[in-house]
Amino acid sequence: MPTEILFQTHLVLGYVAWLLCLSAYIWPWLISMERLAAQRAIATLHSFRFFGLVFILPGVVSPDLPASFATFAAYGDFATGVLALLALITVRIRQLFWPFVVAFNVVGTVELMVDYYHAIQADLPAHAGLLGATYAIPIIYVPLLMITHIAAFYILVRPHQNAPRAITGDATAS
């Protein structure tokens, strides 16, 4: 199977698997929480994005990995991770926490979208072997990151709930 098809198949299946996991386990848990707790959980996941600096670590990726992709991905992930860490550090200072939540989600979403653009421009799917040990990042980790950014935006804009939803069963029938 050609490298390009293999990479694209892996990427699509990464999204499918994470969407199934999200719908069965993560989403019910997130929406049962208060908004702050849900955003804190999402920020905790994104706080590990400093790991994206591995795209510029010699010996981990091929030196032929296009710099237009690797450099932006590395520093964009790093910036998003720092913003997520700042959100977590300021969780008790609501006036700072919420702007950091918005910032890491906006920066992280834009960064991933630009990474996709750079990957297409560099024909990265056809040269996925250049990713070396980082191959799993776009296949396994990036789909989860993008999906949780979307979830975070939804949680930010949904009407505020003071208490977690209760499962009422037939009690809502008239």
Mean pLDDT, residues 6-25: 96
**Residue 87: predicted pLDDT:** 98
Identify whether 170 is part of a domain.
Answer: no
**Burial of residue 87 (number of CB atoms within 10 Å: 0-12, 13-18, 19+):** buried
Distance of CA 41 to the CA centre of its chain: 12
Identify whether 143 is part of a domain.
Answer: yes
Identify whether 169 is part of a domain.
Answer: no
- What are the backbone angles phi and psi of residue 173, rounded to the nearest 5°? -75, 145
Identify whether 25 is part of a domain.
Answer: no
Q: Vertex 121, ends 145 and 106: CA angle to 5°?
A: 30
**Residue 158: predicted pLDDT:** 87
Identify whether 174 is part of a domain.
Answer: no
Identify whether 164 is part of a domain.
Answer: no
Instruction: Write down the pTM of the prediction.
Output: 0.87
Identify whether 26 is part of a domain.
Answer: no
Neighbours of 28 (CB within 10 A): 12
Residue 1 pLDDT grade (very low, low, confident, very high; cuts 50, 70, 90): confident
The residue segments making up the domain with residue 9 are: 3-15+35-158
**Residue 173: predicted pLDDT:** 44
58-117 pLDDT tens trace = 899 999 999 989 999 999 999 999 999 999 999 999 999 999 999 999 999 999 999 999
Residue 2 pLDDT grade (very low, low, confident, very high; cuts 50, 70, 90): confident
d(CA 69, CA 147): 21
d(CA 44, CA 49): 10
Q: In the chain, how many domains are there? A: 1
Detail the DSSP E strand segments found in 63-160.
Answer: none
